[in-house]
Structure 1
Amino acid sequence: MSDNAASPRALPWFVRPDARAWRCEPAPTDVRVFHSSLPDHAPTALTELPSLAEELGVGRVFVKDESCRLGLPAFKALGASWAVHRTLAERAANGEGQGPVTLVTATDGNHGRAVARMAHRLGQRAHVFVPQGVHPQAVAAIVAEQAEVTEVAGSYDEAVRVAAEAAAAPDAILVQDTGWAGYEQIPGWIVEGYSTLCAEIDEQLAADGVVDGPDLVSVPVGVGSLAQAVVTHYRSRPSERAPALLSVEPEAAPCVLESLTLGALVSVTTGETIMAGLNCGTPSSIAWPHLSGGLDAAVAVTDADSARAATDLAAAGVASGPCGAASLAGLRAVLTGVGAEERRRALGLGPSSVVVLLSTEGIAANPHAGADH
């Protein structure tokens, strides 16, 4: 059901009351073992922000700060590293040759840079396709990883299409973080890679005295891969205290919100937004069953909402780009304004609730690069 009570305009919002009862299989346990073996691996910070808890009327607010993950300014390296590792291992096991391959992907910045970093580290080539309008700093960062970069005249969805065509060449492999019919194994490995982030949150909360886990997790969403990982983590174990899960998108690209509202996976026409990494028109096919089953709520926010959230996080000591700050912008939109009490009740939040915000990127490489592709 949607909430149309807000004034002066309706909040783009969807809520479903039975999501916390939905269950799925867990991520494999060897993902975290693999990440721990990498030379530059370290858990990212979980930072408590009491001022936000007071503002939002909850007990405690924590921010998972992904501004430096495996030497890159976003969480994307978790998924890219695991997927490239699995892809090359499968290729070797199948006897498909010992020579170098070209890892092909489409990106607005962080995913492509992570794939390029892994390719270079492992002696492979990388070819990264970027949609029109990607920030020059993001392109330069990918080129610095020794990748070939091609700009596509069109949207992110068009860049994905062109990248998939290029990956049909001999000795080329598509490493894309969105799935569709016939292309789901590698995107599934990318999602598995993100499980490390969720496991860290559990341990860090427990060390801070929160032994029962969070009451709500707020996740920025593009195609939905990170949200799929979060749903998988929290909906794969029996728990009477399963948290509410909130997805946050730009109003310019609310493909998950629109799909949830209509009850089916649909594409939307995207507009311009500073949340470039969330500017996706179609949810991932492998993410959709998890999003439609396990998300409690979805909200869309404006660029102004995201920019304000980024400024406030910076003032509190958390460097976050517009995509990463969307998690705070979305929670603010839900917990304030007309209709807030009804939305708060729908999510089961009270004055002692514990909330985790996923800040999926820093701001060093590209102020407009992405949380979800």
Structure 2
Amino acid sequence: MPTAHWYTHPPARSWVCPPAPRDAAAFHAALPGYAPSPLRELPSLAVELGVRRVFVKDESSRLGLPAFKILGASWAIHRALAEAPGERLVTATDGNHGRAVARTARLLGLAAHVFVPDAVHPAATAAIEAEGARVTRVFGPYDDAVRDAAEEAGRAPGAVLIQDTALPGYTRIPGWITEGYGTLFGEIDAQLRALGAEPAGLVAVPVGVGSLAQAAVTHYRVPRDAPPPSLLGVEPDTAACVLTSLTAGRPTTVPTGATVMAGLNCGTPSGAAWPVLRDGLDTAVAVTDADSIRAARDLAALGVSSGPCGAATLAGARAAFSAAERRAALAEHADRTVVLLSTEGAEANPHAPNSH
């Protein structure tokens, strides 16, 4: 449990970083079945939140999978195998990343070995196995699964670790995964322009170890013509490692518990993401399972399939816009164009909102 459920540091909006490499976007565009995921406008949410426009980036069907993770996994695997061909891909996952690695391995004719913490629902594990991967269940939290995957890759000949958590001495592949996520934000910019909308004033991002949020920061904190948006990181209140770290001013590991936001159930920030989030993430909030479940139900009623991890951003936006002091801490133009990243469809997470 974090010491506080809200963090704000407005000076982060003036921090700038070099542009991230854009090679991944062309790679993704050349993949069979590629298309930008939909950016759906939901006027009723704009009325509820008291903002001009709300858009949801709907990742419920991305290259044949019900989550965004294949953007990072496919690009990192492409880069890694180009430098050092391997026969087997190894990773740890809370669900969606492991399935993306397993799918990419199957398409390339490679074996995959995926380590899964015991909190992951058996249906999510079965989906990974259905991709042809070997699954090892770890009787511990996500951090333990990451450790076991790294140890297995280190001792197995021909194995390549494809992990989205940067570890000491292991940063290049997590960096490529983060680069792959950048495709999503480039799509958002183009889609907002095509819809005649103003640039994003607030972007809400689900946070696990922080790699997707890192991609958001490196996309929106480059020098740009438009005023910088507020970037809102959203975590479960039972696993808010980034919010707790931001509040403490240093990377902090937190104990994790059960949560319907299984893909965000991470206790330690990625080492590569941490300095970027520390300097460039201006707001963060922790939300409850009940708030996430309600948000998933509300999105479903509006025609957007979203699992609890994806719907967490709506719960976070509600928390951010519900209090005057919180609204005042956001960018002045945050209430013009709000973008919520719904990073998974309901199919990705068996903890369906209607089952609670």
TM-score by length of 2: 0.95
* Corresponding position of 1:74: 67
Q: Deviations over 1:31-71 (max 9, x none)?
A: 11000110011100000000000000000000000000010
Native 8 Å contact 1:58 1:350 kept in 2: no
Residues 351 and 202 of structure 1, relative CA distance in 2, 3 Å threshold? closer
Aligned equivalent of 1:43, options 36, 39, 58: 36
* Corresponding position of 1:170: 157
2:281 counterpart of 1:295:
yes
| Alpha-carbon separation, structure 1, partners of 2:175 and 2:335 | 36
What SS does structure 2 have at the residue aligned with 1:84? helix
Measure how far apart 1:289 and its partner are: 1.1
What SS does structure 2 have at the residue aligned with 1:149? strand
Aligned equivalent of 1:253, options 239, 242, 248: 239
What SS does structure 1 have at the residue aligned with 2:10? coil
2:184 counterpart of 1:197:
yes
Q: Deviations over 1:143-196 (max 9, x none)?
A: 111100110110011010111110011111110011021111100000000010
Native 8 Å contact 2:320 2:326 kept in 1: yes
2:4 counterpart of 1:17:
no
Aligned equivalent of 2:328, options 342, 345, 366: 345
2:53 counterpart of 1:60:
yes
Say how many residue pairs are matched: 349
Aligned equivalent of 1:27, options 9, 20, 24: 20
Unmatched runs of 5 consecutive residues or more in structure 1: 1-9, 93-99
| Alpha-carbon separation, structure 2, partners of 1:364 and 1:320 | 8
| Alpha-carbon separation, structure 1, partners of 2:212 and 2:338 | 17
What SS does structure 2 have at the residue aligned with 1:180? coil
What SS does structure 2 have at the residue aligned with 1:189? helix
For 1:362, give the aligned amino acid. G
RMSD of Structure 2 on Structure 1 (CA): 1.4
| Alpha-carbon separation, structure 1, partners of 2:46 and 2:4 | 22
Measure how far apart 1:120 and its partner are: 1.0
| Alpha-carbon separation, structure 2, partners of 1:367 and 1:223 | 21
For 2:166, give the aligned amino acid. G
Measure how far apart 1:350 and its partner are: 6.1
What SS does structure 2 have at the residue aligned with 1:167? helix
Measure how far apart 1:207 and its partner are: 0.7
Q: Deviations over 1:215-262 (max 9, x none)?
A: 000001000000000101001233451101000000000100100001
| Alpha-carbon separation, structure 1, partners of 2:240 and 2:117 | 18
Quote the sequence identity (%).
Answer: 66
Native 8 Å contact 2:13 2:280 kept in 1: yes
Per residue, is there more helix in 1 or in 2?
2
Residues 298 and 125 of structure 1, relative CA distance in 2, 3 Å threshold? same
* Corresponding position of 1:185: 172
The farther-off stretch of 237-246 and 175-184 is 237-246
* Corresponding position of 1:366: 349
Native 8 Å contact 2:7 2:246 kept in 1: yes
Measure how far apart 1:136 and its partner are: 1.4
Aligned equivalent of 2:309, options 323, 327, 333: 323
Native 8 Å contact 1:14 1:257 kept in 2: yes
What SS does structure 1 have at the residue aligned with 2:231? strand
Unmatched runs of 5 consecutive residues or more in structure 2: none
For 1:106, give the aligned amino acid. A
What SS does structure 2 have at the residue aligned with 1:264? coil
2:255 counterpart of 1:269:
yes
For 2:339, give the aligned amino acid. V
| Alpha-carbon separation, structure 2, partners of 1:291 and 1:305 | 24
Measure how far apart 1:274 and its partner are: 0.6
For 2:10, give the aligned amino acid. P
| Alpha-carbon separation, structure 1, partners of 2:203 and 2:325 | 18
For 1:23, give the aligned amino acid. V
* Corresponding position of 2:337: 354
Measure how far apart 1:366 and its partner are: 2.7
Measure how far apart 1:24 and its partner are: 1.1
| Alpha-carbon separation, structure 2, partners of 1:287 and 1:112 | 19
Runs of 4+ more than 4 Å apart: 349-352
* Corresponding position of 1:244: 230
Native 8 Å contact 2:308 2:349 kept in 1: no
Measure how far apart 1:348 and its partner are: 2.6
Native 8 Å contact 1:57 1:350 kept in 2: no
What SS does structure 2 have at the residue aligned with 1:343? helix
